[in-house]
Structure 1
């Protein structure tokens, strides 16, 4: 009886090993799949988007839909590339999770306020820029902080978000300041309101979105960096990159791009959306 049980246990062990090996192989195949070919077959594209960033991608609690400029651009690009009946699928990401999700094959592309940088280009490929932002500061009205230079003092605390390019930038422009890094923009704004820092820093478009819902806070100083946003895709996806750039160009030429810019940024006080018009 013991011999029979040992034999059965051995068979189950072998079967489990085979299943594990096959699943590992499948995962590798997902990573190496031709994203453009798959998009044509499914008539859809899966996008990684933010859900905590007003104006670009924010969850609407009324209908549980993520809405914003990035969302509308993704929908427009999907239809431009695949036809009017094509579907844009969305998966929520953060600054920390967006690249891992892309590399694991969960996403076809990321459109989530992601600045094109040389460091990121070592890991992913980018489309042409679809939005030209610039880093700035959000402070409480009446604050003595008027520009990034005012932060460059020992003991001055600045709030940023982990995984965003703005954290490294503030270290260059205000090296004496102490940077507090939090997980997302909601936490960062809460920290600013509770007085944990003198300013919150990230791209101006994101900050103006925060200021809309928080009238006691304002964006100060001119943008002190250039932050061109790009659509990130996996390495080796040349066809998808080609079609993304072509579709983006067509949206700009048709005037649809500028309509979306005006829709989301045209009425934001202090933000000159014409600077990003194409």
Structure 2
């Protein structure tokens, strides 16, 4: 029923007019969330001290980053105890999320109260239920793509659940849970475009990516290595992925490169665009936390073990089956491995 209401609300949308409404709603609702704080290099607040040299060495030498996490445990440690000791209205899990990613973390204007909802939001509620005994004991903070790691290091949030890809470079700054979703980079472009995928048809085209995203890193590396035509323009970067779709609709860029799971949701918002070609990377989303919050990492991994068998599929069916297909096997991560020992 809920999915049908969303479809009805979006039916016929497309082009600049549609996104003007979406962006206006996003701008309105961002005022309802706490302001994103400023970056502090001293790591004040929840962030604690900076990353130790030994941790940097381990991250720099990492392989299979999705496996570089701690074994699961239900035990409470200092990090979790500090959260549980919050009192009154402050006794909540503080989580950085997106509010503009359709079906992942967004506000549906068709629903009363327009509460945040989506696949990532379901996972946040499960984590809050396990740690604090209340799925709604959450303070959501809207965090742009390029602010995800600073928000953790500065202590503005306890964790980030925001379609965040696990990779070795990010492991220098934050810790990740085991993967909870599998995806890959894809190209999104108008249906009428001559672009056919991540190939030579991108030559001379303007590509939009989110700042600090794995998409931009991949494009930049491939251009420098000669795997991508030198004429491809990757200078357009934006704070949030939804901004790329707006740029595409305004004709300011020719294509968007982002995670296929996000690109499929953007295509669902605008019937004039489509995915071009197959995914050209394999990536895994994880919950990001402080590098020294070992007890939290272990606890989230324990939660994910249960969630994989009871909750994950129901959430996929509700939010993602309409855009990614009823068969969820391509989106399920492999059985977790826990190679990090300290």
Q: The TM-score by the shorter chain falls in which range? A: 0.7 to 0.9
Q: Does 1:53 align with 2:119?
A: no
SS in 2 for 1:96: helix
How far 1:272 sits from its partner (Å)?
5.1
Taking structure 2 as the reference length, the TM-score comes to 0.68
Please list, as runs of the form range in 1=range in 2, the aligned pairs for 1:115-134 lying within 5 A after superposition.
115-134=165-184
How far apart in 1 are the matches of 2:214 and 2:122? Answer: 24
2:127, 2:135 within 8 Å by CA — same for their partners in 1? no
**Other-structure match for 1:267:** 322
Q: How far is the alpha carbon of 1:80 from its aligned partner?
A: 2.7
Larger Rg: 1
2:297 partner SS: helix
Change (3 A) 1:58 1:152: same
d(CA) in 2 for partners of 1:194 and 1:203? Answer: 21
Partner of 1:174: 228
Structure 2: segments with no counterpart, 5+ residues: 1-39, 50-77, 334-342
- 1:73 aligned to 2:127? no
Distance 1:197 1:243, change over 3 A: same
Contact conserved, 2:48 with 2:153, CA < 8 A, in 1?
no
Q: Deviations over 1:48-70 (max 9, x none)?
A: 00111111111334624222111
- Alignment map for 1:106-185 (pairs within 5 Å): 106-153=156-203, 155-171=204-220, 172=222, 174-176=228-230, 177-179=232-234, 180-185=236-241
CA offset at residue 277 of structure 1? 3.1
Gaps of 5+ in 1: 1-23
Q: Paired residue for 1:277?
A: 332
More helix by share: 1
8 A contact 2:125–2:138 mirrored in 1: yes
Higher relative contact order (CA 8 A, sep 6+): 2
Higher share of residues assigned strand? 1
Q: CA RMSD of the aligned region, Å?
A: 2.3
